[in-house]
Amino acid sequence: MYPATMPPSSARWTCCVLLVILSACARVPEPRLFPEAPNDITVRTDALLPADVVLLGEQHDAAEHQHIHQHVVARLAVEGKLGALALEMADAGSSTAALKSNSTQLQVQQALGWNSKSWPWAAYGPAVMVAVKAGVPVLGANLPATQMRAAMADSQLDTRLPGPALKAQQQAIRGSHCDLLPETQISPMTRIQVARDISMARTIEQAALPGKTVVLLAGSGHVNRELGVPRHLPDGMTVKAVLLRAGPPPPVEPDTRASTGKAPAFDVIWTTPAVPVKDYCADLKDRIKPS
């Protein structure tokens, strides 16, 4: 028998989402996701709230991180706190808002213009479908490829980060391309990165709802408070940046915030088991010839 305050349809939906959570836990036990205590994803997710925005910064080749996406999205959905799910993995302007909650995975992929070669649906689809089934819009947030050339030539993007942050972002571009990019390409490539962060921030801002939380799934660099999406969000927004880290946690360093006034790059770090190391630079060397 349903409680007087809960209509049968709401009860059925709640049970459906709970089954999604339970089935996900059955496939991927939380001790595997988090080797250190506390292992409860519910506790971890609830500790982030209240928040207008939760940014989950993943390592793209760490399967546990995509399982965490599903757990967090399901937790917020079942509590009625999920306002929207924004994705680096789809272009800004794409959305499932017009779809019904019982839409098929194919319909969802078509609505988002999903590119399975770049982003395997098997990895990201489960979190997306939890949101869709809950009637929550899933939004593409990344800069469309058609706008990248213009971004590369837009020198105004150089002013969107403070000097030290811009230099750090440029160095991150060098490192992520294994120091193989010609120096003349560093500024244009950095502008694309900044433009992508701005695009994600705009999508989040437009989706914000009072009392709800927008979740962004993106690479860890995009959720960095010093360099990424948080730089471009309104000051009044409550933002929680979560680094999903595959491998041992970094050494504990003294907290210098009081003396330097500098906030940490991430609000919290969730550590998962390490993944096999792949030499991406070897692949990149075959495609990039340094000048």
- Burial class from Cβ neighbours inside 10 Å (0-12, 13-18, 19+) for residue 162 reads exposed
The architecture of the domain spanning 8-247+264-287 is 3-Layer(aba) Sandwich (3.40)
Rounded (10°) angle between helices 8-27 and 121-133 = 160
252: pLDDT strictly greater than 60: no
Give the tens place of pLDDT for each residue, 31-63: 457 776 566 899 999 999 999 999 999 999 999
Strand partners, 217: 56, 87
What pLDDT band is residue 281 in, cutting at 50, 70 and 90?
Answer: confident
In this structure, of 18-27, 82-91, 180-189, 256-265, the range with the lowest mean pLDDT score is: 18-27
Q: What is the mean pLDDT of residues 107-112?
A: 98
Tokens of 25: 């836990």
Q: Residue 276 has what pLDDT?
A: 86
Q: What angle do CA 225, 166, 250 make, to 5 degrees?
A: 45
Q: What is the mean pLDDT of residues 26-32?
A: 45
Maximum CA extent, the chain: 72
CB within 8 A of 286, min separation 6: which ones? Answer: none
Q: Look at the chain and count its residues.
A: 291
What pLDDT band is residue 3 in, cutting at 50, 70 and 90?
Answer: very low
Q: Residue 257 has what pLDDT?
A: 47
CB 214 within 8 A of CB 179: no
25: pLDDT strictly greater than 50: no
Which amino acid is located at 150 in the chain? A
Phi first, then psi, for residue 125 (nearest 5°) are -55, -45
Q: Residue 211 has what pLDDT?
A: 97
What pLDDT band is residue 284 in, cutting at 50, 70 and 90?
Answer: low
Q: Residue 53 has what pLDDT?
A: 98
Percent of the chain with pLDDT over 70: 79
Q: What is the mean pLDDT of residues 115-130?
A: 97
Q: How far apart are CA 255 and CA 252, in angstroms?
A: 9
Q: What is the mean pLDDT of residues 241-252?
A: 83
Q: What is the mean pLDDT of residues 173-183?
A: 89
- 152 closest CA partner among 125, 180, 175, 181: 181
What's the mean pLDDT when you consider all of the chain? 86
Q: What is the mean pLDDT of residues 94-101?
A: 98
Q: What is the DSSP letter of 232?
A: G
Which amino acid is located at 30 in the chain? E
